[in-house]
Amino acid sequence: MKQFGSWISACRLRTLPLSISGAIVGSGIAYSRELFDGPIFALTILTTLSLQILSNLANDYGDGVKGTDNEHRIGPERALQSGVISPIQMRNAIIFNIILCLVLVVSLIYTAFGAEQFLTSFVFIVLGILAIIAAIKYTVGSSAYGYKALGDIMVFLFFGWLSVLGTYFLYSKQIDFSMLLPASSIGLLSAGVLNLNNMRDIESDKLSKKHTLASYFGLKRAKLYHQLLIVASMFLIAIYSALTINSSIYIVFIAFVPFLVHLNVVRKVKSPVEYDPQLKVLALSTVVLAILFCVSLL
């Protein structure tokens, strides 16, 4: 039973709602344009969740074997760090999830494009493989990009641009570059969640030689960077909403309230440990924004 609880903890369920925010936005826009397809939506959500769980397991493994997860780290104890799950068990779980992700990616692509659109299917398979590699290489290996202050940009690209635009393309088979506005909004908020995590762990990361933007900036400038991420996100999705939505645009503005409250709390934080509760707040606020944005489109 204890090991089962550790596996649940390793999956980090609180990160899962955030991971599907981009898919919700892309699907919502497709629905508003009468392009929605139920099986594509279901497989997109399952694929996204499986990729997030893979990333979480790989992150637990990578930080665990490197010793980054130690007594200095703030936040919940990781599975490998606790000793309940061994590195071999975690590696096997990662392999299983890679296979699951591949099965879901292929199923999604076949459902969306069939056997006729070979070139498009090939491109999306490559993107799926790149997403799997990115999920693993955040902390695993000597060239882990999460240790080189590249996590923010990768989160922005995969959780923002690829998630929103890629999801919409599955339905429409075309690219709408105006959607870079809401896609960038979701990407910036996702980067904000990562920045909160890095501000919380700034001291332990420095001791473990894990370089993040927060550790380069220092807490004061990392906090300013965080405020810019959230404000820019609200600004971009407000622009898109103003261009495409009429009477129901106020619904999007309602979604800004928890972000403003969050920014005020972060502004007053004095100790890194105080950032931890705000991870859940920002993640759930992002999901709420995605849902209300879709409601406003309808």
pLDDT, tens digit, for every residue of 200-227? 988 888 887 888 999 999 889 999 999 9
pLDDT-wise least confident of 140-144, 166-170, 254-258: 140-144
Instruction: Scan for tokens 């709408």, then name that residue.
Output: 176
Q: How many CB atoms lie within 10 A of CB 208?
A: 18
List the one residue out of 174, 166, 179 whose CA is nearest residue 124: 166
Radius of gyration of the chain (CA): 19
Could you tell me where the DSSP H helices lie in 162-218? 163-172, 180-200, 202-207, 213-217
pLDDT-wise least confident of 10-14, 130-134, 228-232: 10-14
Whether the predicted pLDDT of 280 surpasses 80: yes
Contact 114, 44 (CB under 8 A): no
Contact 286, 190 (CB under 8 A): yes
- pLDDT at site 210: 83
Supply the range of the domain harboring residue 179: 2-297
Domain count, the chain: 1
84 vs 167, more confident: 167
- pLDDT at site 266: 95
- pLDDT at site 161: 97
State the number of CA atoms in the 13 A half-sphere of 102 facing the CB: 8
Contact 208, 70 (CB under 8 A): yes
- pLDDT at site 141: 77
Mean of per-residue pLDDT scores for the chain: 90
In sequence order, the β-bridge partners of residue 148 are 211
Q: Which amino acid is at 252?
A: V
pLDDT-wise least confident of 100-104, 151-155, 247-251: 247-251
Whether the predicted pLDDT of 127 surpasses 60: yes
Whether the predicted pLDDT of 9 surpasses 80: no
265 vs 64, more confident: 265
- pLDDT at site 77: 62
pLDDT in tens, 269-279: 988 889 989 99
